Amino acid sequence: MTDLSWDPSQANQLVRMRNNPGKQGKTTGKVVGSAGRLLVEVDFGPNEKKLRKFEQLEPVVKIEGIQDLLRKGSYGSLSDLRRILIYEKVKGQLTNILYSMESSNTQFYPHQFKPVLKFLDSPVGRLLIADEVGLGKTIEATFIWKELQARQDARRLLILCPAMLREKWKADLQNRFSVDAELINAQGLRDKVKRMLQNRSMQSNSSFIHIASLEGTRPPKRWIEPETTSPRAELARLLDQNPATDEFSIFDLVIIDEAHYLRNQETSNNTLGQLLRDASRHLVLLTATPIQISNVNLFQLLHLVSPEDFEYQQIFEDMIRANRHIINAQNALEQSEPDTYSLLESLSEARSNQYFRANSRLANLEGEVRKGDAPDLEKIIQWRQTLESCSLLGQFMTRSRKRDVLENRVKRSPQPLTISFSLIEKQIYNHISHQIRKLARDQTGIALFSLIVRQRQMASCMVAALREWKAKGILRQYVNTDNESLAENLWEDLGILFDEEEASEYQYPFSEIDFSDEDLEQLKTNDSKYQELIKLLRKELSRNPKEKFVLFAYFRGTLEYLRERLEEDRISSCIIHGGIASSKDSILKLFKDTNISVLLSSEVGSEGIDLQFCRFLINYDLPWNPMRVEQRIGRLDRLGQTANRISIIHYVINDTVEERILNKLYDRIDVFRESIGDLEEILGDKTETLILDLLNPDLSEHEREVRANLTLAAIETKKREQDRLEQEAGNMMAFGEYILNEITQSRQQGRWLRPADLKYFIDDFFQLYYPETTITSKQNGFIEISLSSQARIDLRLFCDKRRLATPTRLQVAPITCFFDPKEVESMGKGGFEFLDSTHPLIQWIRDEYEKKVKDAGVSHPFHSVSALEVSNEHVNCIPGTYLYVIHLWEFQGIRTETRLAFEAVRVEDKSRLLNNDIEALLDKALVYGSPKPNVINFVNQDEIFKLYEECEERLQLDFLKFGDAFEQENTDRCNVQEQSIRAYTNRKIRDLRERIEKLQLEGKLRPIPAFEGQLKRVQQDCEVNLKKIDQKRKYQDKNPELAAGLIFITQAS
C-alpha cells in the first residue's frame, strides 16, 4: 500500500518529478488506482496532462535555493544547466557576451569585433571607425546594430551615405545579415519623423531601418527659417527641435558612411551630421581617414563624435600629448616580460597631467605595480583593460590596419601596358582636346566639370565616347539633364558628390562636332588600347583557360564597347554598371560559377560585391581621383582573398600630356603596390589644379608639363609626410593586440549565442509548455516549425503588443527556419526565416520566462543544481569529480556591468580551476556531456557541501574586489559625464543665444519664441541630467546564486 506523505487528490499543488526536478506541474485532483499503484494526474503545461506514479512525484513546498538542493542531493540533469546558461545569454544583458558574433554570412575576423567592444564601453554612445579600406567597416557597424538590438531592443536605424552607395548598403544588409532595409528620401524621412513626434507614446512600437543619401538629405541654406519649406529644411528643423533624451529619441542608431564628407564645419554635410548626432541615442561614423597627429580633419570628425570632449583644436592636441603616457604604459605591458620600470615611469607622468590627475583607477594601478609582485596573466589583462579604458582617444575611435590584423597580406603586383596612339587616334584626340580647352575658358562649377568628364570619357575609350556623342549630339546628353550619367562619371572619376540644384540652374552653350561612320570604323580598327588588352587576355587564358579577369572603366560606353569587341573575339564576358537592370548578384554568380572569363564593371556597378576569387584586375582607364582605383583594388584585395599576389594592370600612354601626368600621379602615390590612406589629405586641391592647368587654353604643352611636375613634386612631399605621421600614430592609440586575443578567446569559449543554443532554447520551451507544437529537422540545420493553436495565439498577442522590427509568419503557418546566417546562399527563394536573438519567436519565449521569474521572485525559473558527465577527450581537465558554482554579478552605476562569475574545484585533491578553464569546461560539457543519474550514490554529500561553501566564500570575496574596482571606474566616469553635460549645455545655450541675436538683428522675430523655448528646455535638461549623475555615483550591486553542481570527467576509452 502506498504511503501518502501528501494528498494527491488536492488540485493545484505544485509538484515535480523526483528523477527530473526541472519537470514541474500542477495536480488536477484526479487520482486513479491501477494494479495496486496510485496514479496522479499532473498538468505539466498546455495540452500536457499526464498520469504519473505517486512515488515518482514530490511536492514543491517552496522555491528551494542551491544550498537546500545540495543538502538533499537533489541533482537535476544536463538540460537544467543548459536552460539556465542559455536563458542568461538570450536575456541580452551579459556584458562579456558578443551577441553579434556569427550573426552574419561572413568569415570570422577578430578585428571586426574591436569596434563592438569599444562602442559598448563608450561613455557617449558614439564611435569613429577609421579602418583601412577592405577590412569590413560596413560589417563592423552592423555588428554594433545587432548588439543594440539584443541589449537595448533598438528598433530605429538610419544609415546615411553618398547616393552611389545606397544600393551597396541595402545589398550588404540583406546578403550578410538577412536584414531588409528601405531606401528613403528627405520627404519620406520627414514624414516618418513627423508621425513619430505626433505619437510619442507609441515610439517604442515604431521600427524601421532606412538608408538615405547624404546629398538628398543635407539641409539647404537658411534651413532654420520657417519660410524655407523644402522637405530637407523641414526635416532639419524637426531634428534640431527634438534632441534625444533618456525617454525619447527619433533614432536608436545613426550610421554615417564616408564620414570624411562631413569634416568641414562650414558645410551643410557637417550640419546634417550634428543634427543626426543630437537626435539619435547612438552614432557611428565610418571613414578610411588614417590616424595622424597633426590631422585637422581627424579633429573635425572627433568633434562631431563628441563636441564636449573635442571642443577646440588645441584641446585635441593637449589630449594627444597627455595620451602618449597611456600608450607608453600599454606598450610596456605588451612585451613578453612586462617592463615595470617603464610602466611606473609612464603612469607617474600620466598622473601629473591635468587629464589624469583625479583618475583613481590609474592611482590604484600605480599602487599595485609599486608593490613589486610579479603579475600573472590575469593581472596583466586587468591592467591592460584599465589602461585601455583610460585612453583619451581610444574611447571615441578605433582603427585597424591590414599590416596589423592580417597575417598573410596579399601582395600587389603592378603590370603596366605601354602603348602609343596610332596616327588617327592622335589626330582625333588632339582635335577634341583643343575644342574642350576653348569651351573651358571662364567656366566654373558643374559646367567645367562636365567638360572634364567629356575629356575623361575620350581618354577612357575614344570609339565609345564618339559613338555616344554622335548618337546624342556631342553634349546633348548633358543639355537634356541626363544627370544620372553625369553624377556617376563625376563620382567615379573625380570623387565629387553631384549637386542637382546647381546643375539644373546651368545652360550649356556647346556646339556640335561630327565624325563620319567611316572615321569611327577606322578608329575601331586602330584601337591601340583594345589591341593590347586582347593580347594580354589571350596570353593568360592560354596558360589557364579558367582564369578570371575583372576590368574596370568609369564610362558605361567603354564597358558596352568592350563587351561587343570581346564577343567578336570569342572571349566570354558579362557586365555590371549602375544602369544594368539585372540583379548584380545573379551576374556575379554567373561570372563566378561558369566559364565566363571577364567581368566588365564600373565602380558604381561593383559596389557591394566581393571579387576575392579573382587575381587579375585591369584598369582600362585611370580616374583622376586615385581613391577610385584603391576601391577597385579593394574589391579583390580584401578579406578572403586566397591568392598570394594580385596582378594590377594599367595602361601607360605616352602620346598625351594628360596621360603622362596621370601616370606620374599614380607612380608618386604608389597605389598599385600598397594600400593608401587618406588620399584627400595627400592631394588636397592639387588634383583639381592639375586638371585645370591641362584644360587651360593659354598654356603650351611644355608649360602644362612644367606646372604639372611642380604639383606632382608637392604631392610626393605630402605623401612622405603622411607616411611619417602614420608611423608616429602610435602616440595616439595603441594597437591593442590583447583585445584581438580576448575576442578570439571569447569565441572559443562560447561567449556568444550559438545556433545550437537557440535551437535547444526553442526545442526545450515547446516540449515544456506547448508539446503539440511540432519541430521537424531538415537538411543543413534547417527546421520546420509548426506552432500549436495555443502557441500561435500567444505569439500573435505578443507581436501585436510589441510590434517588433523583425517580422514573422509563424503565427499563421508552418515556416522553415534556419539559425546559421551562412546558409543564406543555399536557401534559394522561399519564405524562410532567420532565427537569432532579435526574432519575435525568441523574444516571445524570453518574455514568457521573464514572466515566470517575476511571478516566482527568483533569478530564473529552472532547477539550479545539476549533475553530468563528460569524457576527458572533449575537455582539457584530468579525470575526476568537479564541483562548480555560478553567480550572476550585476553592477549598476553610470554604466551597467553584468557577468557570470565561476568557481570550481576538483573534489579528489581540492585543486581550484582558473576562471577561463571553468568557462571552457562548462562550455564543452554542455556540448558533449550527458546526464549523470543517481549521483547521490557516488559522492560524499557532506564533503560536497563543505567544498560548495568554500567556493561560495571565494566568490563573495571576488565580488567585493570587483565592486571596489567598479566603484573607482564609476566615479571617474561620473566626473567625465558631468563635465560633458555642462560643456554640452554651455554649447547649446551659446548656439541658441547666437541664433536669437542674429534673428533680432535681421528683424525676423517669428522664430524667436521657439528658440527661447528650446533654451529653457536645455537648461532644465541640464539640471535633470546632473541629478541623475549624482544618483548614479552611488552604484548598486547584487550577486544572486545562479547554479551549482557536479561534473564527472571520465577517462576516454
At 738-788, the pLDDT tens digits run 677 778 888 888 888 889 999 999 999 998 889 899 999 988 788 999 999
Average the pLDDT over 474-503 and give the result. 46
Q: Which amino acid is at 274?
A: Q
Q: Which of 306-320, 933-947, 985-999 has the lowest mean pLDDT?
A: 306-320
Q: Is the pLDDT of residue 982 over 60?
A: yes
pLDDT of residue 480: 33
Does residue 167 surpass a pLDDT of 80? Answer: yes
Confidence check: pLDDT of 509 > 50: no
Category of 684 on φ-ψ map: left (φ > 0), alpha (ψ -120 to 50) or beta: left
Which single residue is written with the C-alpha cell 568554500? Answer: 950
- Predicted local confidence at residue 838, as pLDDT: 87
Per residue in 3-61, pLDDT (tens digit) is: 577 888 888 888 888 777 778 888 999 988 877 788 899 988 777 788 888 888 888 76
Per-residue cell: 742: 580576448
Going by pLDDT thresholds of 50, 70 and 90, the confidence category of residue 929 is: very high
What is the C-alpha to C-alpha distance for residues 357 and 354, in angstroms, rounded to an integer? 5
Q: Which residue has the cell 585533491?
A: 909
**Per-residue confidence at 316, pLDDT binned at 50, 70, 90?**
confident
Please give the average per-residue pLDDT across 151-178, as a whole number.
89
**Residue 250 binned pLDDT confidence (cut-offs 50, 70, 90):** very high
**What is d(CA 171, CA 163) in angstroms, rounded to the nearest whole number?**
14
Residue with cell 567585493: 960
What pLDDT is attached to residue 488? 55
Q: How much helix, strand and coil, in percent to the nearest 5, is found in the chain?
A: 50, 15, 35
Distance CA 787, CA 812 (A): 9
Neighbouring residues of 720: CB distance < 8 A, sequence distance ≥ 6: none
CA-CA distance, 172 to 175, in Å (whole number)? 5
What is the pLDDT at residue 851?
Answer: 84
d(CA 254, CA 239): 13
Provide the pairing of β-strand 14-17 with 57-59: antiparallel
Grid cell locating 647: 596582378
Mean pLDDT, rounded, for 332-348:
84
Q: What is the DSSP letter of 877?
A: S
Highest mean pLDDT among 199-203, 964-968, 979-983: 964-968
Average pLDDT over residues 885-889: 95
43 neighbors 96 (Cβ within 8 angstroms): no
C-alpha cell at 441: 575658358
Decide if pLDDT at 663 tops 60.
yes
Range among 44-48, 508-512, 671-675, 763-767 with highest mean pLDDT value: 763-767
Q: For 97-156, how does the pLDDT look when each residue is reduced to its tens digit (9 = 90+)?
A: 888 888 888 888 888 999 998 898 887 899 999 887 778 899 999 999 999 998 988 999
pLDDT at 442: 66
Residue 682 has pLDDT above 50, yes or no: no
pLDDT at 172: 87
194 versus 297: the higher-pLDDT residue is: 194
When pLDDT is cut at 50, 70 and 90, the band that residue 704 belongs to is low
How many CB atoms neighbour CB 717 within 10 A?
Answer: 12
Beta-carbon contacts of 851 under 8 Å, excluding residues fewer than 6 positions away, are: none
Residue 82: predicted pLDDT = 92
Contact between 492 and 631 under an 8 Å Cβ cutoff? The reply is: no
pLDDT the model gives residue 63: 64
Q: Picking from 485-494, 506-515, 681-690, 969-978, which range would have the lowest pLDDT averaged per residue?
A: 506-515
* 755 touches 819 (CB < 8 A): yes
Cell readout for 148 is: 543594440
**For the chain, what percent of residues have pLDDT higher than 90?**
31
- Would you state the pLDDT for residue 110? 87
Report the 10 Å Cβ neighbour count for 630: 22
Q: How many CA atoms lie within 13 A of 37 on its CB side?
A: 10
Mean pLDDT computed over every residue of the chain: 82
Count Cβ neighbours within 10 Å for each residue of 400-414 and write b for 16 or more, e otherwise.
bbbeebbeeebebee
Which segment of 57-66, 102-111, 496-505, 962-971 scores lowest on mean pLDDT? 496-505
Most confident of 171-180, 265-274, 336-345, 646-655: 265-274
The whole-angstrom separation of Cα 204 and Cα 196 is 10
CB 861 within 8 A of CB 852: yes
Q: Which of 46-50, 165-169, 376-380, 725-729 has the lowest mean pLDDT?
A: 725-729
Looking at residue 595, what is its pLDDT?
92
Lowest mean pLDDT among 210-219, 473-482, 643-652, 905-914: 473-482
Query: pLDDT at residue 874 above 50?
Result: yes
Residue environment code for 478-500, b if the CB has 16+ CB neighbours within 10 A, otherwise e: beeeebebbbbbbbbbbbbbbee
| Between 498 and 65, residue with greater pLDDT | 65
Say yes or no to pLDDT of 302 above 70.
yes
Q: Give backbone dihedrals phi and psi of 430, rounded to 5 degrees, phi first.
A: -65, -40
Q: Report the pLDDT value the prediction gives residue 515, as an integer from 0 to 100.
A: 63
pLDDT of the residue at 65: 84
Residue 475: the pLDDT is 39
Please tell me which of 212-221, 241-250, 522-531, 990-999 the model is most confident about, judged by mean pLDDT.
Answer: 212-221
Q: Which range (164-178, 418-432, 710-724) has the least confidence? A: 710-724
- pLDDT beyond 90 at 431: no
The share of the chain scoring above pLDDT 70, in percent, equals: 83
Q: What is the C-alpha separation between 722 and 713, in angstroms, rounded?
A: 14
Burial of 727 (0-12, 13-18, 19+ CB in 10 A): exposed
Q: Is the Cβ–Cβ distance between 451 and 440 less than 8 Å?
A: yes
Distance CA 856, CA 1040 (A): 14
For residue 42, count CB atoms less than 10 angstroms from its CB and return exposed for 0-12, middle for 13-18, buried for 19 or more.
buried
**CA separation for the pair 996, 219 (Å, rounded):** 20
pLDDT of the residue at 787: 94
Q: What is the mean pLDDT of residues 230-244?
A: 94
Helices within 371-516 (DSSP H only)? 377-390, 402-405, 423-440, 445-460, 462-472, 476-479, 483-489, 500-504
- What pLDDT, in 10s, does the model give residues 598-618? 999 987 656 656 788 898 999
Higher local confidence (pLDDT), 214 or 1021: 214
Measure the CA angle with vertex 509, ends 508 and 510; round to 5°: 95
The more confident residue out of 156 and 704 is: 156
pLDDT at 193 over 90: yes
What's at 614, amino acid-wise? C
Tell me the whole-structure pTM to 2 decimals: 0.74
Q: Is it the case that residue 285 has pLDDT exceeding 90?
A: yes
Cell of 767: 516540449
